[in-house]
Homo-oligomer: A and B are copies of this chain.
Amino acid sequence: MESAIPQNLEMKRTRHKRVPDDYQPPYPSFVARYKPAVSRVVMAYFGVQHRGTVPAAATDALKEIAGLFAAEHGPSHWDRAHYVDQAGHENVVSVAYWDDVARFDAWFASAREAWTGKAREGVGTFIEVLRPSVERHETLFSSLGRAEGVAVIADGMSGEVQEHAYWGGMRDRIPLSQTDAMAPGGSPELIRDGARLRVKAHDNLCLIRSGQDWSDTEASERKLYLDDVEPVLREGMDFLRDDGLAIGCYANRYMGVLSADGSASEKSYGQSWWKSLAALERWAESHPTHVKIFGAAMKYLSTLGPSAKLRLYHEVTVATADEQFFEYLNCHSKTGMLAAVEG
């Protein structure tokens, strides 16, 4: 058993973790471990949005960003996913990860111009970037052997960690929680720059990417996941998408991961922007929609026990204002963080 907080990020605590030192989680979980030299990671969401039949410009845009990712200083890993948003628009989001901010910076300026610096026929584009210090970030995996998201660029995975399977584990895994309550610092503002719309959010904005991978499940487990768990998860994701603002969820996307050839895969993730880690905590632990998700997942896992082949993971970041960048071009007014500001 080890702490989710890596040794090099241990600080003299002024805030306690929520469980006693002898707490034993009821089942194993793991976290991504970066090389100690990694002080900051970058997660960059590049979205392309359109309505109805796929315009040529959308296909071109996807090729273009893939080409940019492959160029010098490009990301160590990226993936792509699709969803239909609350306005009925199709969105394809390519998510790229770096573990070196200097490399990202060398890459980003021209990529940004290419992505949100020019209008494309019939499509909108957006960029959402966090570049948190590793103190402001945590991951969690239900099993080893298949890293996802930011964990793909990590040095590897931990052994079994202590800080999970209780409410508050998410916070306790973030190294900064040792000394900081991570309270939110203001309200998001819209900045107009011609057709480009930027959102300046605030300190301690929170991002979660929470993923599901049922590709290894077989007959009965697959049926149980798809019939009993997935619909409840979808209901919760729809709630956050449509009515999340009142409880501090600025935006939520329930994404279907795309295979390399662009076809649907058996992986999904929810990605949401929150006013604070506390708002995410409150939804997760007490809102009826997540209580139902948690109940369905508990029932699923207690039915299957250690034989479950479903893989679950998440990554959570609480970023300072200057670790964030949001830019939208020709997107509808409820896209991403635009939903959090007056249009």
| A295 contacts B by Cβ under 8 Å | yes
- Cα–Cα distance between A252 and B134 once the two chains are bound (Å): 44
Chain B residues within 8 Å of A183, by CB: 20
Q: Per-position contact with B for A290-305: 1 when CB-CB < 8 Å, else 0? A: 0110110011001000
Q: Which A198-225 residues have C-beta < 8 A from chain B?
A: none
Report if A181-B295 is in contact (Cβ < 8 Å); known contacts: A282-B166, A286-B26.
Answer: no
Chain B residues within 8 Å of A15, by CB: 16
- Cα–Cα distance between A19 and B183 once the two chains are bound (Å): 10
Chain B residues within 8 Å of A276, by CB: 20
| A195 contacts B by Cβ under 8 Å | no
| A63 contacts B by Cβ under 8 Å | no
- Cα–Cα distance between A26 and B282 once the two chains are bound (Å): 10
- Cα–Cα distance between A167 and B288 once the two chains are bound (Å): 14
Q: Per-position contact with B for A5-33: 1 when CB-CB < 8 Å, else 0? A: 00000000001101110010010000000
- Cα–Cα distance between A91 and B181 once the two chains are bound (Å): 48
Of B23, B167, B295, B302, which one neighbours A168 at CB under 8 angstroms?
B167
Identical chains in the assembly:
2
- The winner among A16, A165, A286, A299 for most chain B CB atoms within 10 A is A286
Q: Per-position contact with B for A273-284: 1 when CB-CB < 8 Å, else 0? A: 000101001100
B181 touches A286 (CB 8 A): no
Chain B residues within 8 Å of A16, by CB: 15-16, 181
Report if A23-B278 is in contact (Cβ < 8 Å); known contacts: A18-B168, A285-B166.
Answer: yes
A291 touches B288 (CB 8 A): no
Q: Which A18-69 residues have C-beta < 8 A from chain B?
A: 18-20, 23, 26
Q: A284 — nearest CB in chain B belongs to which residue?
A: B167
Q: How far is the CB of A22 from chain B (nearest CB, A)?
A: 8
Q: How far is the CB of A289 from chain B (nearest CB, A)?
A: 10
- Cα–Cα distance between A286 and B166 once the two chains are bound (Å): 7
Q: How far is the CB of A167 from chain B (nearest CB, A)?
A: 4
Chain B residues within 8 Å of A292, by CB: 295
- Cα–Cα distance between A302 and B292 once the two chains are bound (Å): 13
- Cα–Cα distance between A295 and B295 once the two chains are bound (Å): 7
Chain B residues within 8 Å of A295, by CB: 291-292, 295
A298 touches B294 (CB 8 A): no
Report if A298-B288 is in contact (Cβ < 8 Å); known contacts: A16-B15, A18-B168, A167-B168.
Answer: yes
- Cα–Cα distance between A18 and B183 once the two chains are bound (Å): 12
Q: A247 — nearest CB in chain B belongs to which residue?
A: B26
A167 touches B285 (CB 8 A): yes
A16-B181, A23-B278, A292-B295 known, 14 other contacts, Cβ within 8 Å: A16-B16, A18-B18, A19-B282, A20-B183, A20-B278, A165-B286, A166-B281, A166-B282, A167-B167, A167-B285, A285-B285, A288-B302, A291-B295, A291-B298
| 10 residue pairs bridging A and B, Cβ less than 8 Å apart | A15-B16, A16-B16, A18-B18, A18-B168, A19-B282, A20-B183, A23-B278, A166-B281, A166-B285, A292-B295
